[in-house]
Amino acid sequence: MSVALKVENLAKTFAISGGLFRGQKAGVRAVRPMSFGVETGETLGIVGESGCGKSTLARMLVGLLEPTEGTIEIEGKALDNADPKAFGRLIQYMFQDPVSSLNPRKTIKQIMEAPLKRLHGMNRAERDKRIAEIFDSVNLRSEFLERYPHEFSGGQAQRIGVARALAAAPRIIILDEPVSALDVSVQAQVLNLLRRLKDEFNLTYLFISHDLAVVEAVSDRIVVLYFGAVVEIGKAEEVFSNPKHPYTKLLADSAPVVGRPLKAPEQKDSELPDPLNPPPGCAFATRCPRATDICRESDPALERVGGDQFAACFHPLED
């Protein structure tokens, strides 16, 4: 197995100035230094509550945001923010709401052609051939090419979003809530299509979602983020059924997962820490039923807690 993506000490702090912060050096630590790898052909699920840094991480991975520190490597090559085309040829982002992310004044054909011209310098005949192949793979009819984004239903629009991401011939696609806006019946179709395309094009996926049942079903491994940091990482079939970090357990207990009884979440305090004034210790300590003094004083590192599972916790849960 080869490594598709390697992230080392990747972090983003948004500097804040002016207004209340005039003259101060304040910053929101949206992503705290994190490291992980993704194997070629793997689907890595990324979960966490709103504000935990999922979008910031995704935007750094596709070169839309410059990291404050750390490195991103795809297939062994370090990415350079000064070369956005290199990012585009290797990694693409599929937005949650494809209709509003596509230019409403351009036809689907014009939208599909743009990355082929910009990233690959293809001539008209090459572009036509490539677009026809991709449309065939995502089961879209060629007459759709002359239409505009608003003319499509949710499921069709999502397939166009996939087609656009595929047009660049990337190695990795980041799927940001790819099915959350769709009806359940259409969700299954889009998920099946994504699975087939992954094999057909030998792709690697990063799958971001709030829906733990969907993430568990599609992922090989899952990363759980809390307050900008990885708190747990492990095999999809283990992470929610045998969580080691108390936060993962809280998420799993509060999510309605088919076949698993729904329990009230164990928690002391539902508030996230202030990102402008993070606590010195574990960011989850204020909510954690297992927290002790050490948790309030130092921030635990991610450590192996058995098999292929890692957790950042001084008191990981037992099997």
52 binds ligand ATP (CB under 6 A): yes
Closer to ligand ATP at the Cβ: 53 or 88?
53
- Shortest distance in whole angstroms from residue 98 CB to ligand ATP: 16
| Nearest residue (CB) to ligand ATP, 54 versus 164 | 54
Nearest to 226 by CA among 99, 73, 51: 51
String of DSSP letters for 245-293? SHHHHHHHHHS--TTS-------S--PPPPTTS--SS-TTGGG-TT--H
Name which of residues 222 to 281 contact ligand ATP (CB under 6 A). Answer: 275
Q: Is 32 in the site for ligand ATP (CB under 6 A)?
A: no
Beta bridge mates, 175: 94, 207
The nearest distance, CB 211 to ligand ATP, in angstroms, is 12
**Alpha carbon distances (Å) from 238 to 56, 102, 216, 282:** 26, 37, 9, 23
Q: Does 53 bind ligand ATP (CB under 6 A)?
A: yes
Angle between helices 124-137 and 108-120 (to 10 degrees): 120
For residues 5 and 57, which CB has a smaller minimum distance to ligand ATP in the complex?
57
Q: How many CB atoms lie within 10 A of CB 8?
A: 15
Cβ distance to ligand ATP smaller for residue 134 or 208 = 208
- Does residue 50 touch ligand ATP according to CB under 6 A? yes
How far is 249 from 243, CA to CA, in rounded Å?
A: 5
Q: Within 13 Å, how many C-alpha atoms sit on residue 131's CB side?
A: 25
In whole angstroms, the minimum distance from the beta carbon of 176 to ligand ATP comes to 8
Selection from 85, 160, 81, 150 nearest residue 115 by Cα: 85
Q: Does 51 bind ligand ATP (CB under 6 A)?
A: yes
Q: Does 67 bind ligand ATP (CB under 6 A)?
A: no
Number of amino acids touching ligand ATP (CB under 6 A) = 12
Question: Of the two residues 28 and 305, which places its CB atom closer to ligand ATP in the complex?
Answer: 28
The three-class DSSP label of residue 310 is strand
- Can you tell me which of 28, 79, 111, 222 binds ligand ATP, judged by CB under 6 A? 28
Q: Per DSSP, what are the bridge partners of residue 6? A: 37, 73
**149 touches ligand ATP by CB under 6 A:** no
Residues forming contacts to ligand ATP in the complex (CB under 6 A) are: 14, 28, 30, 48, 50-56, 275
